[in-house]
Copies of this chain bind each other. A is one copy, B any other.
Amino acid sequence: MDQIVRRRTAGGDQGETSPGRASAGAADGSVGGGAGGSAGGVVGGTTAGPGRKRGKALEAAIFDAALDQLTSGGFARMTMEGVAGAAQTGKAALYRRWASKADLVLDALGSTLPPPVDIPDLGSVRAELMQLMAYFGDALDSRAGTAMRALMAELDHERARVFQDFIMDRVIRPAALATMQILQRGELRGDVRPGAATPLVADVGPAMLLYRAKICQGRLDADFGQALVDEVLLPMVSPAERR
């Protein structure tokens, strides 16, 4: 903690450093407010409680707060002030480390998103897809996953380059790759239709998970993954004789 570098990897950082701002339209103080109590685990009292976090512990608390704020209000409504409050620290501690909100978000997500997964050969494409979709579902259900979903909204807007590369590299492409590996292996094994292993087909699982998460407020049924595999993915990729 004697070489904290102010991180400015986000480059064009969403105009954060501009003196002008747009209204978020809804800072009723509840954005991430609920996280205030959970960040420090301390109930009651207006002081920081049992003591100050420093270094890595403080960064972890800041990350938690940032992800929660991102999840509950989206990137636009997330504020440095809110994150600082939820992490029970001061803004100066944030600005000592991160030049902008985007820098903080990328660091928080980059540190907490699950890694790419490599599903081993389980002997059948069904078993492999089941495991992969379960992995994806768990990832989506995690704190980082829900925050990442919220951040994906920024891809719709101008100046989103800063997040575009991150999400492509850490989410979209790894998901497609993991699926593609399973499909190609299945083609060799014979339980995947020849020619089924295309990028478009590889996007179906992730697309469906995200769609369902979106329209069900992030709640995925326990058996959604299985239904997805059996109703959608297997019929799509199985050879004819498996129908």
Binding site for B on A (CB under 8 A): 14-16, 18, 20-31, 71-79, 81-82, 101, 146, 149-150, 152-160, 164, 167-168, 172, 193, 196, 198, 200-201, 203-204, 206-208, 210-212, 214-215, 217-218, 227-228, 231-232, 235-237, 239-241, 243
What are some 15 contacts across the A-B interface (CB < 8 A)? Answer: A15-B30, A22-B82, A23-B23, A24-B25, A25-B76, A72-B158, A74-B156, A74-B157, A77-B157, A153-B156, A156-B218, A167-B215, A201-B231, A204-B232, A232-B236
Per DSSP, chain A at the interface is helix
Closest residue of B by beta carbon distance from A73: B157
The reply to whether A23 and B15 form a contact with Cβ atoms under 8 Å apart is no
What residues on B are CB-neighbors of A160 within 8 Å?
A: 217
How near does chain B come to A161, taking the closest CB pair, in angstroms?
10
The reply to whether B152 and A214 form a contact with Cβ atoms under 8 Å apart is yes
Copies in the complex: 2
Closest residue of B by beta carbon distance from A171: B215
What residues on B are CB-neighbors of A201 within 8 Å?
A: 231-232, 235
Other contacts beyond A15-B25, A21-B27: 6, CB < 8 A = A20-B27, A22-B82, A153-B156, A155-B217, A201-B232, A203-B212
The reply to whether B237 and A240 form a contact with Cβ atoms under 8 Å apart is no
A231 partner, pick from B200, B232, B240, beta carbons under 8 A? B200
A23 partner, pick from B30, B79, B168, beta carbons under 8 A? B79
